[in-house]
Structures are given as C-alpha cells and as structure tokens.
Structure 1
Amino acid sequence: MTKKEIYEKANSVIGIEGMTGNERLFASGLMELFDASKKKDKYTARIILEALKFDELSIGRIVGYSTDSLKYPNPWDFPNENKNGQEGENKGTLEYTNLTEIGMGAPIGGICKLSTNELNNIIINKWCGGPAIWTRNGLKAAIPIWENNLFNGTFQKIGIVDLKKHTMTKYKKKFRVLDLRSFSGDFIIGFDSPVHRIKKLEFDYINESIEKVTEIK
C-alpha cells in the first residue's frame, strides 16, 4: 500500500481525535497492515501512525526507538543544504560539509556554514548536528552543536543564528541527541535522545541561560 493510500484511508475516518489508538487502526482498516509492518517495516508502521494522528512520543513507544523508524530528517539523516524559504534580503542557507558519524552507528556532525545576501559561506561552527530548523519568517535558525569534554563525554547544545543581528547565540544547557522540529512562539520544540529514553523538548530560548553570543561576519 502506498503512502497516499494509507493517508486516504486514515482521512476517511470521522471523529478520529476522540478515538483510542486501536479504534483508529480498526476504523481505518489499517490494523492488519500495521501489525505486519511493525515487525518487518517500521517505516510503514510509522507512516500509518502519523496518518492516524498519533503523537510523536506515542509513535516512538509503539514502533520502537530505532533509527529506521525515525521521521526524516533526523539526527542520523538530514540534507546537506537547509534553506529558510525566503527570497531577497532575507534569503538564508545553511550548508553542512564533512559530515561524519560521531561514533559507529551514532548521529552525524560536521561543519555548518551560513550564506545570505550579505554573507558568503561563513562558518557557524565546525561541529554541528542536524537537522537545523528555521522560524516561519526565516530570520532565525536553531542548530544542534556537538561538544565533547573529559567529564561529560559527547553531548549537544543549542545554537541560534539570527540573520538580522548577525549573531550566533549558544546556550549552556546540555542534551544527549537533539531532534529539533519547529519554533513555537518563544519555544523550540523537538525531542532529546529520540532513540534511547526519548524526552519531549520545549526549550525557552528567551529565558534559558546563554553561554556565548558570537558576531557572524
């Protein structure tokens, strides 16, 4: 069954928000396909649950926390180029180079550069993860930044690129593996450690402690 067909079946269910998970699967006629996919094709199992409006935490718990069940893009697989969708003076592009695994089977990281109408391939950080996310107006981007030290091992912090101020703000708080999804008001929404012990992320970038603000030039 194609992704389009799965969504057509899911969208045909009336009153889906008030149903339990099993009721959604049964009413859509996707129960049998889901049971088979859960064992052999986690990607299809995820598509079914997404179509039936399961939340991300529930999907992870049901399908299992593994890299092949994660929604694309994710920390293990994201594009080298990330545009903000704007034109003219607000146009911005983040480009990743030299992407390699942090460890065997681990997420990837590499050099991240910013290009705008005023800036050309300026290095934001030499060890960034992904995927980065943009605000709706394309003027800010949040980027996972890899770090490593003797006491904490390898971890991530959040950096925010501001195209108007030409700054990169890095925050103090440490995370295991960031899977950023969107901006919502003053919050960055996503997940920490999407494969092991997943936690929902609601990061208040206005009030969180800042480690450093760097001018981009």
Structure 2
Amino acid sequence: MTFELLKTTENGRRGRLTTNHDVIETPFFMPVATAGAMKGITHRDLLDLGAQILLCNTYHLHIQPSDEVIKGAGGLHQFIGWDKPILTDSGGFQVYSLRRNNKITDKGVQFNSHLNGDPLFMGPEESITIQHNLGADIIMCFDECPPSTASRKDIEAAVDRTLKWAKECKEVHERLANERGKSPLLFGIVQGGLELDLRENCARELITIDFDGYAIGGLAVGES
C-alpha cells in the first residue's frame, strides 16, 4: 500500500491512498452500494458528484448472486461496471444484525440466510476468500461486533475473538494473494464497545499483526 501524507492540521490530515484501481484523496465519503449498485442514482451520477470509491456488502453479494458467479464474470468491478476502487466489508456486521438467529464460536458464526432461511457459516477463511473472489481493492477482517447493551465480559470476549480472527484472516489473505498473484489491501477492525481501555488494547494488538490499515468498528449499534 502507498499512503502519502499531504498535509496535517490540529484535528485532521489530508492524504493520498493508492489502490489497485486508482488513487483516492483522503478524507473521502464512501457511498454504500450494498449489492453493487446504489438505488436511484447511476455510476455516472456518482462520478459527477466526486465519488472515489464504493462500499459493497460481502454477505449480500455472497448470498446473491454469489461470489463465485461474480468471480467468473471477471470480478465485482467488471460485474457492476465500476472502474474505481471498491471496499468490501467482512460480513461481521451481519453477524450483529442477524444475531437473534446465530451461534458464535471461535471458529466463526452459524446463522440463517435472510432470504430463504438456509443455514450458513461465516468465519475468517470464508470471509477473506469471498472478498478475494469479489476482487475488491480494500477488504476487511472478519470481526465480532457486540451490541451496545453487551456486558464488559461479553465485550472482552468479542475483542479476544476479533483478535484471533484477525490473525487467521491475515494468514488466509497472504496465502490467497500468493496463489492468485493479486493482493488487495487488508484492514484490521478495532472493537471494544464503549470500553476505551478494551479499544486501546485491541488497536495495539492489531498493530502488532501489521495490517495495511485499520478501521474503527462497532459504532452505530445503539450507543448514545
């Protein structure tokens, strides 16, 4: 990854991030195209508005039309007709949103499809493989996002699991990158709820794993 720091101020900075598909000026707004397209607006409109990157949803694209179909079509960029960078999430937020019907273990999450109820499993191996199949420029580690009402004990368990999965995600990512000769950027995700010490510990541990970038996860889950 190439990140060039252009300017800093007391409360922010400007930079330039190089990806496989283009250079992105930071900070930037990332439109959410859950299934690969935004509702009511064309890609041309997005470009005219200055969009530099799209956020697409790993879980939903895996369910329909499937990452294997998209891979066979030449990857997500070609499938949706977008030649700018794409970031895919890990599917971890769906673990949170579908939590009433899921079972979380150290291996991953067993849950049911929101479309037809079919049993599904998502873990570090599955998440990273799907994202590599999609061909995104920036991919995210599979993580556990605890609800805002979670106890400290449950948040600690989620952080421990997130760190365990982060190590596994990087191993899978490096293996696939070597096998396929193409490497997206892999970001670790900081969890810890509203417990600042847990967030700090999670961030420090992720840094030791050495990712291309880091995201702050577990926000907008009911906290106030």
TM-score normalized with structure 1 length: 0.26
More strand by share: 1
TM-score normalized with structure 2 length: 0.25
Greater RCO (Cα-Cα under 8 Å, separation 6 or more):
2
More helix by share: 2
